[in-house]
Structure 1
Amino acid sequence: MKHHLSLLALAAAMVFVPVATQAQTTIIKAVASGPAESPPNGSTGSSVASFEFDGDLMRAEVPFRDLLGTTVAAHIHCCTTAAFTGVAPVAVPLAGFPTGVINGIYTQAFDLSDASIYAPDFLAAFGGTAANARTALIDAIGDNTAYLNIHSTQFPGGEIRGFLVAAPIPEPATWGMLGLGLAGLGLLARRRARYGGAGFPVGQAA
């Protein structure tokens, strides 16, 4: 039963989920590590960050620990050309992120309808409007082409990163044990058929 539930969580995490509408709340997770960087590194740092989307509001909670360098900045980057791989420019700087530390937690709320929260180049790339930038960011999260990156003095290009994925997701240590196989693919197909292509209904992701 435990294996079945873990497989269910993995299948749910790997399919497209619309991120938010005005009446619904969706939780997005990002499991960040050094090996997930591009190129990978041997950082001991980690983060399991949460992003709650409720209409135009995005609430970020980003704990982090055991970095090798001290923090200099953190961002949401968007949009890579393929899911879970590649690099992308900054989309949303995490303003006020704690700097000069190896452990900490960041909490902040962002109004996605406010053009000032977006990086200027990202905003310009999508017509210069907050509405277009919001749509691009949300689409990218649904496509798993947006990621959290925490930059440090030792790794200025990024010490730990994690792609944003609709919750729930399995702990990193369980990925190698799960295995999809025919049974997993069948479970995914049944869930997609049940919900019309989505792994679970929006609002029940958390």
Structure 2
Amino acid sequence: MRALTLALALAACGAGGPAVAATYVFEADLNGANEASPNASPGFGYSRLYLDTDAHTLRITAEFQDLIGNTTAAHVHGPTAAPGAGVAAVATQTPSFVGFPLGVTAGNWDHTFDTTQTSTWNLTFINNNGGTPLGAEAALLVALEQGRAYFNIHTEVFPGGEIRGFYAAAVPEPGVWALLIAGFGLAGAALRRRAVGASA
């Protein structure tokens, strides 16, 4: 009975909505030192990636500044052979992300893709992962969780990439922490009630 009470309390912890469980969040710091051939670019940036495997959406944000060259393209690449190192083919949309600021040395960008659409992906990445967009979605998630996917900004001066960063799991947002704490509180309350009932 105690196990059932605990299970119910933990289930209540997740009652905040299935989107929390299905949304994976990753972030990357972008700089020249992170490139496969490190460079001395003063450029830097940040990217955040949200992959929702229930809604089948991929939201990517990026901000960057102080690049030496004007931007020519930006992509997510993966998977590399090893976490946090090496190079990989483009996994996402080519020749560059739709709406990504090109011909500039600073900017920001925010776009949400439908992962069921072929246009979200590099066709080769689809073909290498089951031949479907959802196969590509699943493969990207694995690469992200293993630290083998990176965001790369290419420029005229550095065609192979001026700044990049490998994605890592983001620290939970304050709302997620609040949900977890509330869930632990419910579990503790349920156990206390059970202990009081057993001693009566």
Of the two, which has the highest radius of gyration?
A: 2
2:39 is aligned to 41
Q: 1:155-205, CA deviations, whole angstroms, 9 ceiling, x for partnerless residues?
A: 000000000111129xxxxxxxxxxxxxxxxxxxxxxxxxxxxxxx9x97x
Is residue 63 of structure 1 aligned with residue 69 of structure 2? no
Look up the equivalent residue of 2:118 and give its one-letter code.
Answer: A
1:131 is aligned to 134
- Distance in 2 separating the partners of 1:120 and 1:51: 20
- Distance in 2 separating the partners of 1:25 and 1:132: 17
SS in 2 for 1:148: strand
Deviation at 1:98, TM superposition (A): 0.8
- Distance in 2 separating the partners of 1:148 and 1:100: 18
Q: Unpaired segments of 5 or more residues in structure 2?
A: 1-17, 181-200
Moved over 6 A (4+): none
1:3 is aligned to none
1:79 is aligned to 79
SS in 1 for 2:33: coil
- Distance in 2 separating the partners of 1:158 and 1:65: 14
- Distance in 2 separating the partners of 1:144 and 1:114: 24
Task: Give the aligned length.
Answer: 154
- Distance in 2 separating the partners of 1:59 and 1:159: 22
Deviation at 1:106, TM superposition (A): 0.9
Deviation at 1:39, TM superposition (A): 0.6
- Distance in 2 separating the partners of 1:138 and 1:26: 8
1:141 is aligned to 144
Q: Which has the larger share of helix?
A: 2
Aligned-residue identity in percent: 39
Q: Tell me the TM-score normalized by structure 2.
A: 0.71
1:108 is aligned to 111
Q: Unpaired segments of 5 or more residues in structure 1?
A: 1-19, 170-200
Look up the equivalent residue of 1:40 and give its one-letter code.
Answer: P
- Distance in 2 separating the partners of 1:164 and 1:21: 21
Q: CA RMSD in A?
A: 2.3
- Distance in 1 separating the partners of 2:40 and 2:61: 24
Q: Tell me the TM-score normalized by structure 1.
A: 0.69
SS in 2 for 1:92: coil
Is residue 167 of structure 1 aligned with residue 170 of structure 2? yes
- Distance in 2 separating the partners of 1:131 and 1:120: 12
SS in 1 for 2:34: coil
SS in 2 for 1:83: coil
Look up the equivalent residue of 1:32 and give its one-letter code.
Answer: L
Deviation at 1:23, TM superposition (A): 4.7
Alignment of 1:17-56 (within 5 A): 23-55=21-53, 56=56
